[in-house]
Structure 1
């Protein structure tokens, strides 16, 4: 059996181990893709391919308005050979971006617990032939175990959360596995992670609490984190608690200008509603050489 046949065999076995609902969803996705016009695939700002569907995120991508500052920032710091984690990968925008930037010598780990979202994530990885991406079908948290994930129906599918999300849309629950970042890194032997995108709809603080070993190592990764009060409120804490948690561990915080250049923010502020960047003290010198920090 040749190498390509082995690859197909592995993919078939992996498909057959999935739950029946997830297998059905995957078949539906590929059926739609087979009969969808070529015009339904667009080019992302960084050159990646994206298969459009009806979602709020896709509408932003179609208009070119999605997180331009964050995209430019990531383009400025990721280099070939680096290791990046996409925690809360959703349909894979940042997974694809990181994959193209770190290249064949680099690695990207995409964490996505939603079986529905993984269908599109896997489709985009195949569409872009990203051979350096590994998908982890788990949520990250403060402790390992199982939890209920609330899936948002309709166009706001990026608001899925382990708590009832603050959206005006119907939700349904699915049972998912949860692990900690420390346990994942220990079990895989993954070392020297340079960058983590953390967007988990309010679970950010729990993910960081489950990474105590990582946060004691040196050098620690640069984080790009969703820090929004509307996302943390269902979890019973304020977004500023995320900022203070890492500031107490010698991280410097930055907001992003439209150009992607970072600007220092006061970690003692009372509220935050933005995607922010956290840089550990030991990486600040290299970070300041890589990007232009605004005063």
Structure 2
């Protein structure tokens, strides 16, 4: 469309120049200086418009091509983001509403914690939450092992001009890392497997486990891909080798069943520098596929001074309740949700006492099981 407009303006300019040339001959004989001056001014105006049009086209082209192949620039609330052309729930929701509902609770928690919060986003995906938090002035370490998603995320960071927070104190900063966070036992190289035509739902497994596929429970062969990534622990890589801040205020973990591995690989850091709040996906069936114990994940938070608040349903869930203990009621609840996932918010009891107003603003309701 822009190309057609440019061609039309070029033809109009050429026509104007031709008229001007013809009139010069007439004017040379008849002395119509006023008409010639007027025509020249019109031609100069057309030249200026054409120059501005070409400049805008070049700028738009630069923006478009900075997003990876198969994606294009989209507008969200407060930032721009590279969105996939192919259907994806996250991308379509951002196109429709300018936001991803799963990030709203993170925005609410971060606003309570302070003006410049340190956030760890594990399983950052295309960066919907990373971008929103950075745009609000927070510092985010974003971790995403999938090469396509990482490329998309990295491009969005560049398009928004978010600097690395290691280069000084900025209002909104992002560091992006293409690794998988895991436990010490599973560190090394991992194979990425994904749902067909949906790289947003990416899982990881060790290369040894992939070679012995029978040890990975109920994973269809069609989920395997040829992609691999480095798998590291949070303790050994980010904090103790200077690759990030030593503590985070808010941690989001969404890795489709690998949440327990992430926590086990960050135990030293989380116990020494306890985050004030977590939001993590809890998918018991997938935790078991990766040879983990779902109850162990919840027990870590319950035993270390956190209250757990469960967001029921799918993305943007409506109803909530609190898990009040780790006894039989928790086991019963675990059995009921074995085949699906829920989002869990873990709030430090020291930072968020029972009467904290944020719980009301989030609509968190206490319900004994």
**Global fold match (TM > 0.5):** yes
Determine whether 1:279 maps to 2:353. Answer: no
Determine whether 1:175 maps to 2:228. Answer: yes
Determine whether 1:149 maps to 2:191. Answer: yes
Correspondence for 2:296: 241
Distance 1:262 1:195 in 2: 20
Structure 2 residue matching 1:270: 3-state secondary structure = helix
Confirm or deny: 8 A CA contact 1:76 1:291 kept in the other structure. no
Instruction: Map 1:219-230; keep pairs closer than 5 Å.
Output: 219-230=274-285
Deviation at 1:281? 2.7
Q: TM-score, normalised by structure 1?
A: 0.75
Determine whether 1:59 maps to 2:92. Answer: yes
Determine whether 1:185 maps to 2:230. Answer: no
Deviation at 1:236? 2.5
Confirm or deny: 8 A CA contact 1:149 1:160 kept in the other structure. no
Correspondence for 1:122: 154
Correspondence for 1:288: 356
* Corresponding residue to 1:203 among 235, 258, 264: 258
Q: TM-score, normalised by structure 2?
A: 0.61
Deviation at 1:76? 1.0
* Corresponding residue to 1:108 among 140, 160, 179: 140
Deviation at 1:32? 8.2
Distance 2:234 2:306 in 1: 18
Deviation at 1:260? 7.8
Correspondence for 1:72: 104
Distance 1:47 1:256, change over 3 A: farther
Distance 2:99 2:219 in 1: 21
Distance 1:265 1:89, change over 3 A: same
Confirm or deny: 8 A CA contact 2:68 2:151 kept in the other structure. no
Distance 1:178 1:294, change over 3 A: same
Confirm or deny: 8 A CA contact 2:103 2:128 kept in the other structure. no
- How many residue pairs were aligned? 260
Cα deviations across residues 23-53 of structure 1 (Å, max 9, x unaligned)?
Answer: xxxxxx975849999xx54333x33323332
Structure 2: stretches of 5+ with no match in the other structure: 1-62, 164-172, 206-215
Bigger drift between 254-263 and 47-56 goes to 254-263
Structure 2 residue matching 1:236: 3-state secondary structure = coil
Query: Using CA pairs below 8 Å that are at least 6 residues apart, which structure has the higher relative contact order?
Result: 1
Correspondence for 1:265: 323
Structure 2 residue matching 1:213: 3-state secondary structure = helix
Correspondence for 1:86: 121
Q: Decide which structure has greater helix share.
A: 2
Cα deviations across residues 139-190 of structure 1 (Å, max 9, x unaligned)?
Answer: 1111173222224375311121113685785431333212211122222261
Bigger drift between 87-96 and 233-242 goes to 233-242
Structure 1 residue matching 2:344: 3-state secondary structure = strand
Confirm or deny: 8 A CA contact 1:219 1:283 kept in the other structure. no
Cα deviations across residues 47-105 of structure 1 (Å, max 9, x unaligned)?
Answer: 3323332142323433449752x32211211142110011111111111122122x1xx
Bigger drift between 113-122 and 153-162 goes to 153-162
Distance 1:60 1:236, change over 3 A: farther
Correspondence for 1:11: none
Larger Rg: 2
Instruction: Map 1:20-31; keep pairs closer than 5 Å.
Output: 31=65
Distance 1:219 1:35, change over 3 A: closer
Distance 1:111 1:34 in 2: 18
Distance 1:34 1:87 in 2: 21
